[in-house]
Structure 1
Amino acid sequence: MAAAPSPTIEGRFQKCLKPGLNRPHDVIVHQGQYIVTDTFYNRVIAVNPADNSLEVLCEKKQERLSSNMRPYGIVALSDSKQDFLITDAANRSILRYTDNSCKVWSEAELPQNGCPAGIAVDPLSGNVYVADSQNRCIRVYDADGRYCRSFGSDHLQSPWFLDFNSEGHIFVTDNLAGLKIFAKDGKFVKKLAIRSENRSWSCRGVTIDQYDNIFVTARTKGSFRLLSREKVVVFDHTHRVVSSLGGLMQFNYVRGLCCDYGNNRLVVVDGEWHRLQLYKLYNQQQSALRQHSVLVDSPRDEGDHATKEHGGDCDDEMDEGFVIVSSCDCQDDSDDGDVDDPETCMDDYDYDYSHLELFREENYNIASLTLQPESVEYNLS
C-alpha cells in the first residue's frame, strides 16, 4: 500500500500569545504546553495555549551557578512533565530541570569564551548536540552528560540552533552564513543559503517536522540600514523552497520555532515583540483528500508510484521566483555588522519576498539564475 504524501504547508496566521515574556529565545511543545526560554527575566516558563496562562518552571540563580542564568535553547529529555535540558549562556553551562530542581547537567566545561546556544537530542542514540556559537562548533555529549567530541569548526561561523531529520542528518543554522547540513559523524554535507537583492539572510531558528520539511527563521537588513525583513522559510525534504511565512511587519527579531502537531500549529518566537506567533501548519482537508486518493485510486503495482516522491506535488504550492541550488564545498560568506542584539526595527514599506532565492556559491551570478526549481541530491558515502 502506498504511503500518503506530505500535506501542504498552509502557514496561515492564527493568533499571538504574549504571556508576560521579555525577549524569548526558544520554544518547544511538551505535554500540551509551550515551554519557552525567557532571556531577559532569566527564566523558563510553561505557557498554556488554551488560556494564555503561564507557570514559571525555573528562574534566576540556580544551585552552584555564579550568576543569574541566561537560558537560550531547550529540549525535552523524556515524556515526563518536568525533564528538560537548558543551555545557559551566562554561565557557559548545560542545565537539567527535573522535579522542580535545576542543576548543572554536564560537568564538562565549555572552552574559554564558549557560549552554548541551540540544543537537540539524537532520537536514536540519546546523545545531546549543543551549538557553541563562540567556538564555532557543535559539541556532542552522551546521555549522562559526558563530553564526547566536537565537529564543524571548519564550516561554522556562528551556529545558533540545530535539529535532526528522519535520516539522522544534522541541520545547523549558522547565523550569518546560511543553513549547514552535517552527517551524524560530523562530516560536512552541504550548505543552503538565502539571498535577496544580493544580500545574505541570517538564519536563526530551525525545526524539522515529521515529513522532513525544514522551517527556518531568517532575517536580513533592508535597503536602508535601519530596516529589516524577516520570514519563516520552508523547505521540503529535497531542499526546495515550498513556502515562506510572515508578511509586512509580521516579525521583529524571529528566533526559535517548533511544530505543535496536536493543534496543527507552527509556533514562532518573536523576540523583540515578546510574544509567540501561531500559524496553521498543514492543510488537513487537502491532506485527507490526497490520502484517500492514494489509498483508493492507486493501482496495485507499487512500481507505478516510483515517481510519486514524498511531498512530490509541492510544485503547485511553491512561491514563484524561488531557486533551489546548493553548495557542497563552499567558502562561507559573512554579513557586515549583524549582531545578536534585538533591534526595534521594522519595514515601513511593502516588500516582495518572492525574490528570495537559494544560491550556489560556485561562480554564479545571482541576476543570471533562471527561476526554475532544481532538485539536488547529496551522497554521504
Structure 2
Amino acid sequence: MASNTPSPIPDASKSILQLTTSYAKIGSKVGLNLTLRGGQGFPMVGTGSISSVEGFVESPNGQCSQRIQFPDIVPASGVCKAIVWLNQVGVHQVHVKICGSEIEGSPVKLVSGVRGNLLNTYKPPMNQPHDIITHENNFVVTDKSNNQVQVFDSKFRPANKFFSPESTGMGKFDPYAVAWTGKTLVVTDLANHCVVEFKDYLKFQDFGKEILRKPCGIAVGKDGKDDSVYVADCQNHCIFHFDKRRECTFSIGGQGSAHGQLNAPWFLAINSRGNLVVSEFKNRRVQVFDPKKREPVRIIDVKHNGKEWDCRGLALDQNDNIYVTVRSGLMRGWSYEHVLVYAPNGDFLGVFGEGFNYVRGITVTNKGEKTLAYVVDGANHRILEYEI
C-alpha cells in the first residue's frame, strides 16, 4: 500500500550549490553539483521533493538563458548533478531556488570567456587602415595613408570610397576613426583638427576646428538614435560632446591619472546604458563615464600576463563586453599585440589574436548565431576575422 506521507522539502538555507569550474570558454559545458539538505542539516539521500527545486542561468544581458534540468529524485549519493551550457561570452549567474528562496551559495558567478578562433584574413587594396565599423551589411574602413574612407562588402570587396575635398584652409584628408549617426557618417580628421561629416558618401560639413587639436576616437549617442557626437582629443586629454547642431556643449576629463581624468584617450564606444567607454593609451586602462554626470562609473586597469598594455582600439558586443586592442613594448619583434576582453564589471574574459603589427580599430557584430570580431592590422594592411 502506497504511503500518503509527503516527501520532505529541502531546506534552502542548508542546501549547497557548487560548480566544477568558475571559468570556461564559450561553447563549453560546466558541471553543477547540488547537495540538498533537510532542516537538520543532513543530506537528503534517495528521498526528498525535487519538484520544489528550480534552477536557471541568468545570461550576461540579465535574461534567463536556460533552465537547469535536475534528476527526478534525489540520487543515493545525495548530490544532484546537472549541466550548464555556455552560449554567450560574459558573466553568467547560476541560480537555484527551493520554494522560491535562493539556496546557500546561489547565485554563483560563472564566467564564459572568448574563443578567438581566426576564421579569415582579408587584404583588400588599402594602406595603413585604422578604424572599422559595420554599416548596412557593409564594412566602412578609414584608409589612412590613402587619405580616404573605403566601403567594402561582406567579403571585403571594394564597394565605394569617399574623400574630403581639399579646399582653402583644409589640407589633405587624414581619416582616423569613423562612426554612424543614423543619418550620416562622421570621421575624425587628424591633420585638419576636425570632424568631417558625410551624407550619401559626400561631404556634408565639418566641425570642431575651433577646439579640437588631435581628434582620435569618435562615438555617437546610444544605438545611433541620438545625433550627438563624442570625440576623443588625444592632445587635449578629454572628450568633447557636440550636439545635433554640431556645437560643443561640454567636455569630460582633463589630463591626469586620477579617476575622471584622461591621458591620451584614443577610441570610444557607447554601451547599452548610454555610458561612454574610453580606451586610454597612456594610462593603460579603460574608463567608463556617465556622460550626463560627466563622472566615471568604472575603471578597468588593462593588465595581462604580468604586463601593462597600451590601449588602442575599442568595441563592444551585444552584452556590453569590452574588446580592446593592445600593445606591450615599443620595438617591432620585441613587442606583443593582442585583443583583450573584459566584462562590463571588469572581469577578464580572455585574450586572442597574434602576429599584429600596428593593431588599431575593432568592431564586433553578429552573423546568424555567431559573434564575430574584425580587427584592423594596420601595418600589415589587412583585416582579421575571428569567431568569438
- Pick closer, same or farther for the CA change 1:197–1:234 going to 2, 3 Å: closer
- Pick closer, same or farther for the CA change 1:198–1:259 going to 2, 3 Å: closer
1:4 aligned counterpart, secondary structure:
strand
Matched letter for residue 244 of structure 2: A
1:40 aligned counterpart, secondary structure:
helix
Are 2:296 and 1:188 equivalent residues in the alignment?
yes
CA distances 1:234-269 after superposition (whole Å, capped 9, x unpaired)? 11122111121114x2x1111110112136311111
Are 2:217 and 1:118 equivalent residues in the alignment?
yes
Note the C-alpha offset of 1:214.
0.7
2:65 aligned counterpart, secondary structure:
coil
More strand as a share of residues? 2
Are 2:112 and 1:11 equivalent residues in the alignment?
no
2:367 aligned counterpart, secondary structure:
helix
- Which structure has the larger Rg over C-alpha atoms? 2
Partner of residue 237, structure 2: 136
- Count of residue correspondences: 272
What TM-score results when the alignment is normalised by the length of structure 2? 0.65
Contact 2:327 2:335 in 1 (8 A): yes
Note the C-alpha offset of 1:98.
1.1
* CA distance in structure 2 between the aligned counterparts of 1:57 and 1:199, rounded to whole angstroms: 39
The correspondence of residues 220-369 of structure 1 with structure 2, limited to 5 A, is 220-221=328-329, 227-247=334-354, 249=355, 251-262=356-367, 264-281=371-388
Compare relative contact order (CA 8 Å, sep 6+) and give the higher one, 1 or 2: 1
Contact 1:17 1:49 in 2 (8 A): no
Contact 2:238 2:252 in 1 (8 A): yes
More helix as a share of residues? 1
- Pick closer, same or farther for the CA change 1:59–1:109 going to 2, 3 Å: closer
Matched letter for residue 254 of structure 1: V
Judge which range, 117-126 or 30-39, deviates more: 117-126
What TM-score results when the alignment is normalised by the length of structure 1? 0.66
Contact 1:63 1:102 in 2 (8 A): no
Are 2:286 and 1:165 equivalent residues in the alignment?
no
Are 2:205 and 1:104 equivalent residues in the alignment?
yes
1:172 aligned counterpart, secondary structure:
strand
Contact 2:164 2:203 in 1 (8 A): no
* CA distance in structure 1 between the aligned counterparts of 2:193 and 2:376, rounded to whole angstroms: 23
Counting aligned pairs with the same residue, the percent is: 29
Note the C-alpha offset of 1:125.
4.2
Unaligned runs of 5+ in 1: 282-381
Partner of residue 106, structure 2: none
- Pick closer, same or farther for the CA change 1:12–1:110 going to 2, 3 Å: farther
Are 2:264 and 1:203 equivalent residues in the alignment?
no
Contact 2:374 2:383 in 1 (8 A): yes
Note the C-alpha offset of 1:130.
0.3
CA distances 1:186-205 after superposition (whole Å, capped 9, x unpaired)? 11234222235654210001
